[in-house]
C-alpha cells in the first residue's frame, strides 16, 4: 500500500489559504508521503496541464495518487450539463496521469426530496463511470457525511453501489465519513471489498469531530490488517480536517504520516 495525502487540508481553509499547489507538494514531500491527491478546486495553474503537474510531483519524489472532482453535489438537474463538463475535464486530467478519478458524494439542500435527488446523482455517476471506461480511468464514488449528504447509512451506501455496478463505478470509502455516518467501519469494508479501488482515511471522535489519526475512535490496525489480508494494492490517502489542521496544516499532515509509520506503513 502506498500512502498519499489529500489536499482538502488546505481547501477547507478557504480564503485563508493563499499558497500554491507547489507549496502543497513541498509540504507533502517533506512529510514523507509517497504521493498526493489533488482536487479540481486546488489544482490551480496546473488545470489542464497534467504533464506539468506530474513533472512537479516527480521533482519532489512524489507520485500522483488520484484526481478528485467535486462541484455541486450532483443532484440538481439544472447543474447536470455543467457538472458533466467538469467531470469530462477531470477524466482527461486523470487519464493523462494514469490515476483513478474520485468523484465526490451526492448532496442536496434540505428542501429537495431524497428519491429524485438520488436518482439524479445515480444518473450522473453512471455516465461518468462509463465515460471513464472509455478513457481507461477507474471512477470511484466518495460518499461523505457533511451536511446535506444523501449517503450515510449502510443501506444508502448499498443502494448507490448496487445501482451502479453494471456501469463500472467503483468505491472510494472514507473511513472517517463511514464512522461519522453511524456505520460499522469493518462491516462496510468487508461488504464492499470487491468494489474498493481507492481508500481515504481520517479519524473522528465519538462526538463526530475530526481528529488526527490515532486520536479518534477508528481502529486503524484492524483496517490495515484487513486491507493487507485481502491484498489491497491501491492507495491509502490521508485527509486531515481536525481543528489542529486549521492552525498548522503542515504540522498536522506530518503528525499523521508519523503515526502511520508507527503502524508500519
Task: Give the count of beta carbons closer than 10 Å to the beta carbon of residue 261.
Answer: 11
| The three three-digit cell numbers of residue 51, written as one number | 504533464
**Residue whose C-alpha cell is 470509502:** 173
Alpha carbon separation from 5 to 106, 157, 166, 202 (Å, rounded): 23, 24, 30, 11
User: What is residue 78's three-state secondary structure?
Assistant: helix
**Model confidence pLDDT, tens digit, residues 210-252:** 999 999 999 999 999 999 999 999 999 999 999 999 999 999 9
Looking at CATH, the fold of the domain delimited by 2-262 is given as TIM Barrel (3.20.20)
**Model confidence pLDDT, tens digit, residues 102-149:** 999 999 887 789 999 999 999 999 999 999 999 999 999 999 998 889
CB 236, CB 261: distance < 8 Å: no
Question: What pLDDT shows up at residue 100?
Answer: 98
Question: What residue spans define the domains of the chain?
Answer: 2-262
Burial label, 262 (beta-carbon count in 10 A; 0-12, 13-18, 19+): exposed
**Model confidence pLDDT, tens digit, residues 160-195:** 999 999 999 999 999 999 999 999 999 999 999 999
Alpha carbon separation from 204 to 100, 113, 174, 243 (Å, rounded): 26, 29, 11, 11
**Model confidence pLDDT, tens digit, residues 19-50:** 999 999 999 999 999 999 999 999 999 999 99
Amino acid at each position: 500500500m502506498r500512502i498519499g495525502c489529500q489536499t482538502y487540508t488546505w481547501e477547507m481553509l478557504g480564503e485563508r489559504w493563499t499558497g500554491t499547489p507547489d507549496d502543497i507538494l513541498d509540504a507533502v514531500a517533506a512529510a514523507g508521503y509517497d504521493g498526493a491527491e489533488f482536487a479540481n478546486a486546488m489544482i490551480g495553474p496546473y488545470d489542464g496541464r497534467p504533464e506539468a503537474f506530474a513533472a512537479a510531483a516527480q521533482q519532489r519524489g512524489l507520485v500522483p495518487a488520484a484526481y478528485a472532482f467535486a462541484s455541486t453535489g450532483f443532484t440538481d438537474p439544472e447543474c447536470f450539463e455543467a457538472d458533466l463538463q467538469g467531470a469530462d475535464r477531470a477524466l482527461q486530467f486523470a487519464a493523462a496521469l494514469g490515476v483513478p478519478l474520485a468523484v465526490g458524494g451526492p448532496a442536496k439542500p434540505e428542501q429537495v426530496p431524497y428519491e429524485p435527488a438520488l436518482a439524479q446523482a445515480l444518473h450522473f455517476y453512471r455516465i461518468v463511470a462509463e465515460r471513464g471506461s472509455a478513457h481507461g480511468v477507474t471512477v470511484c464514488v466518495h460518499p461523505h457525511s457533511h451536511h446535506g449528504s444523501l449517503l450515510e447509512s449502510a443501506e444508502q451506501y448499498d443502494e448507490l453501489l448496487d445501482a451502479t455496478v453494471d456501469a463500472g463505478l467503483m468505491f472510494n470509502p472514507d473511513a472517517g465519513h463511514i464512522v461519522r455516518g453511524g456505520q460499522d467501519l469493518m462491516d462496510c469494508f468487508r461488504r464492499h471489498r470487491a468494489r474498493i479501488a481507492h481508500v481515504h482515511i481520517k479519524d473522528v471522535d465519538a462526538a463526530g469531530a475530526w481528529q488526527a489519526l490515532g486520536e479518534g475512535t477508528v481502529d486503524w490496525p484492524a483496517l490495515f490488517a484487513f486491507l493487507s489480508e485481502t491484498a489491497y494494492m491501491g492507495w491509502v490517502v490521508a485527509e486531515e480536517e481536525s481543528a489542529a489542521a486549521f492552525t498548522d496544516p503542515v504540522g498536522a499532515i506530518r503528525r499523521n504520516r508519523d503515526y502511520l509509520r508507527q503502524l508500519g506503513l
